[in-house]
Amino acid sequence: MNNRHREHIFIESIMIRLWTYIRHAYDIFINPNTSERRSERKPSEDDTRREFVLNYILTGLTTLLILLDAFIFVRTITLWPIYQGIPFPIFTLIVIFFLFLLILSRKGYFRISAYSMITVFFLGATYGIYHWGFELHTSVLSYVLIIIMSSIVVSNRFGLVITLIIGATSIAISQLQIHGIITPLLYWKYQNAAQQPFEFFIIYLFVMAASWLSNHETVKALHRARKSEKMLEEKNESLERTVEERTRELKQSQIEKLSQMYRFVEFGKLSSGIFHDLLNPLSVVSANVERLDSSIHPDIPEIKSDLTGAIKASRRMERFIDTIRKQIQTQDTKTTFLV
């Protein structure tokens, strides 16, 4: 059990370390978010997607070229001096060139890198149909790959331009060869074509990889757009609920204020009537006391003094009640105007 446990831990540690290396390599060679930008302007989502696809293509292509360069080096040594394939130094320069394009893309110049890569592919395919005939299958498939990559890593408009250029070039070279102005080498038609399926398969792989990467990034962008749209809808619904609640609260507050103001108005009207009713009896009492005062004999000073005090008190009460009634009427008028 201890040995199995140690083996399990060892394998798990190797897998974790391997995944760390893969993730680190992804950030170095492919991930657009870690590339060095030549400007502070944030790239658009389409530019990020195109750079991602371009980095994938250049990384895969450079890796394949490095393996082929090692194979050519071994073949050159083992078959020297009868080796007749492409010279190792020339193929090494091709590897260095594509590695330079990858570095250029990682520095933020992915458009220049894309244009350069497509130009090199176009020149290579054109040289193939010029030198070995317009029926060379590898060049025809390479043209197809160029059109697909142009549309994916640059734009659909550029892909259309490249299509027109490829069509014009193919028609021109084929007509020159048909009329004998250019004589291509056609010996490849009569040799063993066992290696051609492998060449076709490599081109198929690149076409599939470019299409899959583009579709994968498009699906991711669509998923992000749908997620953002859903979040926006949820925020809108939340905002609508908040507005409805605030509107309901405001209406309730206005109703309460209007109800309170109405009660104040009714209270003012009622108070005004009550004070008016109190003022009339008080006026009668005051008048009666004054008549009683005038009828009292002067020889009774105590009663005369009390009546005089009662008259003064009743008049003060009249003025006080009249003042309050007028204030209530004034407040009722102002409150009614505000409402």
Q: DSSP assignment of 24-77, as one string? A: HHHHHHT-GGGS--SSSSPPPHHHHHHHHHHHHHHHHHHHHHHHHHHHHHHHHH
| Residue 290 CB burial class (10 angstroms; 0-12, 13-18, ≥19) | middle
**How confident is the prediction along the chain (339 residues), in pLDDT tens digits per residue?**
566 666 667 677 777 777 676 666 666 666 665 555 555 556 677 778 888 888 888 888 888 889 988 988 888 888 787 776 678 888 899 899 999 998 888 888 889 999 999 999 999 999 989 988 888 888 888 899 899 889 888 888 999 999 999 999 999 999 999 888 988 888 777 765 666 777 778 878 878 877 787 777 777 777 878 888 888 888 888 888 888 888 888 888 888 888 777 777 666 666 666 666 666 666 666 666 666 666 665 655 666 666 676 777 777 776 777 777 666 666 544 444 333
- Residue 194 has φ and ψ, to the nearest 5°, of -65, -30
Determine how many CB atoms are found less than 10 A away from the CB of residue 32. Answer: 20
Look at residue 36 and tell me if it is in a domain. Answer: no
Spatial distance between the Cα atoms of 60 and 98, rounded to a whole number of angstroms: 10
Residues 168 and 63 in one domain: yes
Look at residue 38 and tell me if it is in a domain. Answer: no
Residues 125 and 266 in one domain: no
Are the CB atoms for 151 and 158 separated by under 8 Å?
yes
Of the three residues 186, 202, 235, the one that is the final residue of a domain is 235
Residues 16 and 101 in one domain: no
Are the CB atoms for 74 and 176 separated by under 8 Å?
no
Residues 300 and 185 in one domain: no
Residues 275 and 206 in one domain: no
| Residue 24 CB burial class (10 angstroms; 0-12, 13-18, ≥19) | exposed
Residues 24 and 53 in one domain: no
Look at residue 206 and tell me if it is in a domain. Answer: yes
Residues 148 and 262 in one domain: no
Q: What is the model's pLDDT at position 169?
A: 94
Of the three residues 208, 235, 262, the one that is the final residue of a domain is 235
Nearest to 88 by CA among 63, 71, 102, 100: 71
Look at residue 12 and tell me if it is in a domain. Answer: yes
User: Which residues form the domain of 282?
Assistant: 252-338
Look at residue 247 and tell me if it is in a domain. Answer: no
Look at residue 244 and tell me if it is in a domain. Answer: no
Of the three residues 209, 235, 261, the one that is the final residue of a domain is 235
Nearest to 313 by CA among 337, 280, 330, 290: 290
| Residue 67 CB burial class (10 angstroms; 0-12, 13-18, ≥19) | exposed
Q: What is the model's pLDDT at position 248?
A: 86
Spatial distance between the Cα atoms of 204 and 195, rounded to a whole number of angstroms: 14
Q: What is the model's pLDDT at position 168?
A: 95
Give the CATH number of the domain where residue 275 resides.
1.10.287
Instruction: Report the largest interatomic distance among the alpha carbons of the chain, rounded to a whole angstrom.
Output: 166
Residues 213 and 312 in one domain: no
Residues 22 and 63 in one domain: no
Q: What is the model's pLDDT at position 116?
A: 93
Are the CB atoms for 270 and 331 separated by under 8 Å?
no
Residues 194 and 217 in one domain: yes
Look at residue 119 and tell me if it is in a domain. Answer: yes
Residues 151 and 277 in one domain: no
The domain total for the chain is: 3
pTM of the model: 0.59
Look at residue 39 and tell me if it is in a domain. Answer: no
Q: What is the DSSP letter of 85?
A: S
Are the CB atoms for 92 and 69 separated by under 8 Å?
yes
SS (H, E, C) 140-189: HHHHHHHHHHHHHHCCHHHHHHHHHHHHHHHHHHHHHHHCCCCCCCCHHH
| Gyration radius from the chain CA atoms | 50
Are the CB atoms for 129 and 153 separated by under 8 Å?
no
- State how far Cα 225 lies from the chain centre: 7
Residues 109 and 217 in one domain: yes
Place of tokens 């330079």: 100
